[in-house]
């Protein structure tokens, strides 16, 4: 076996490329790609908060289970920043990653698809089938730099249009984590205003307003993508494979991933251990650097740089209190039953943000806390804890909404 200290000073062992195959200019789902389990709804034009409009919006979504005759068993699941509609299922044609909540959703699971009709849309501005920067505009050109800014409220408006298209009059539960939790909060206000009932919301590892600290963490991520020479101002879709902004996207992902995990977990898991035979003193990497490189390359193959910018900017604009008299007033105006869940080691969405929501929403249950060393990603990892919390809330919702 070759040891790290067997390499001469100034030399380093050969490192496997983090991009072993040509990276497509975008990891977006494009027309002609395998559909997988996606379904598509054309919801027509959408007027945005900015006053601009998207003339022809398509929403990609997946469903599980069956809507009952009374239409009272529908659950809406909202994904986080780099998630998509593929909540449940294996990776395969049309789906580069396995379902991100496989342990929570399915027959006999906490969100029981034998009992509930579950819908998961890809978010407006995303890159997995819903209209976004990689989509074709009515003239047949990819939007690219011309895709307008969208807000969380715009995204919920698109989901309201999908709800109407599906013939759903009310949601038993709207549940989401992180960016999905922001939309769940807006659903509590925008859904009833649009005539769509919302029995309950579950807001997991999220907040009612993006903070200065969160904006600060987001800023270098956006700069990394825009600073990539291959970004071309957002118009890179005609470039050959390997010539897209995957380096900038990868750096953005590395910055973000540090906020998704806790300092305790990274130090306990990796400490100062070198990566394999690499010697950091001679130009090699520490194991934690290799770990971040891996997540950078993984995202480049399945996501779109423009969508990353679009969705990050939608989170920057997130403010439940905008034009509603402030955050506290907006939270107090929510009449929907609410489950608020925080992660005790979350440094991206600190527990205090969840505590505030649980305190101010009149019909909120007491704050539930996931105890985890994994930080923000605890809501995607600690399934045993989350399953119990969600199941308890569903049962209490059923008791409250059952006919007497």
377 is in an annotated binding site: yes
Please check if 3 is assigned to a binding site. no
Q: Which position among 79, 246, 318, 376 bears the catalytic label? A: 376
Is there a catalytic annotation at residue 346?
A: yes
Q: Which of 112, 293, 319, 346 is catalytic?
A: 346
Is 344 a residue of the active site?
no
- Concerning whether 317 is annotated as a catalytic residue, the answer is no
Whether the CB-CB separation of 302 and 100 falls below 8 Å is answered with: no
Spot the catalytic one: 135, 170, 178, 345: 178
Question: Which residues are documented as binding site for substrate?
Answer: 253, 377
Question: Which residues are documented as binding site?
Answer: 253, 377
Residues involved in catalysis? 178, 346, 376
């Amino acid at each position: 076996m070759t040891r790290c200290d067997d390499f001469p000073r100034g030399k380093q062992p050969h490192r496997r490329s983090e991009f072993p195959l040509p990276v497509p200019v975008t990891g977006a789902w494009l027309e002609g790609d395998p559909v997988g389990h996606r379904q598509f709804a054309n919801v027509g034009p959408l007027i945005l908060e900015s006053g601009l409009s998207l003339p022809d919006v398509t929403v990609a979504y997946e469903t599980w289970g069956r809507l009952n005759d009374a239409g009272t068993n529908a659950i809406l699941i909202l994904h986080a920043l780099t998630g998509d509609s593929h909540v449940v299922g294996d990776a395969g044609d049309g789906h580069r990653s396995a379902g991100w909540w496989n342990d929570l959703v399915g027959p006999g699971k906490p969100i029981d698809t034998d009992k509930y009709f579950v819908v998961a849309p890809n978010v407006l501005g995303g890159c997995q089938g819903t209209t976004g920067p990689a989509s074709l505009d009515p003239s047949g050109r990819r939007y690219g730099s011309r895709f307008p800014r969208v807000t969380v409220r715009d995204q919920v408006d698109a989901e309201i249009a999908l709800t109407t298209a599906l013939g759903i009059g009310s949601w038993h539960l709207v549940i989401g984590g992180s960016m999905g939790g922001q939309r769940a909060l807006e659903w509590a206000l925008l859904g009833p205003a649009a005539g769509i009932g919302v029995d309950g919301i579950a807001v997991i590892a999220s907040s009612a307003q993006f903070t200065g600290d969160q904006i600060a963490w987001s800023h270098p991520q956006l700069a990394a993508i825009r600073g990539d020479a291959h970004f071309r101002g957002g118009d890179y879709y005609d470039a050959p494979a390997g010539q897209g902004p995957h380096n900038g996207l990868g750096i953005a992902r590395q910055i973000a991933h540090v906020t998704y995990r806790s300092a305790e977990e990274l130090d306990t898991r990796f400490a100062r251990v070198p990566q394999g035979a690499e010697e950091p003193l001679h130009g090699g990497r520490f194991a934690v650097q290799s770990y971040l490189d891996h997540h950078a390359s993984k995202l480049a193959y399945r996501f779109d740089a423009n969508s990353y910018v679009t969705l990050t900017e939608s989170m920057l604009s997130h403010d439940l209190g905008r034009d509603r008299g402030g955050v506290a007033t907006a939270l107090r105006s929510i009449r929907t039953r609410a489950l608020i869940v925080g992660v005790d080691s979350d440094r991206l969405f600190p527990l205090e943000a969840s505590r505030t929501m649980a305190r101010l929403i009149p019909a909120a249950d007491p704050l539930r806390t996931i105890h985890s060393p994994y930080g923000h990603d605890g809501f995607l990892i600690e399934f045993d804890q989350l399953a119990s919390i969600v199941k308890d809330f569903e049962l209490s919702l059923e008791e409250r909404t059952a006919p007497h």
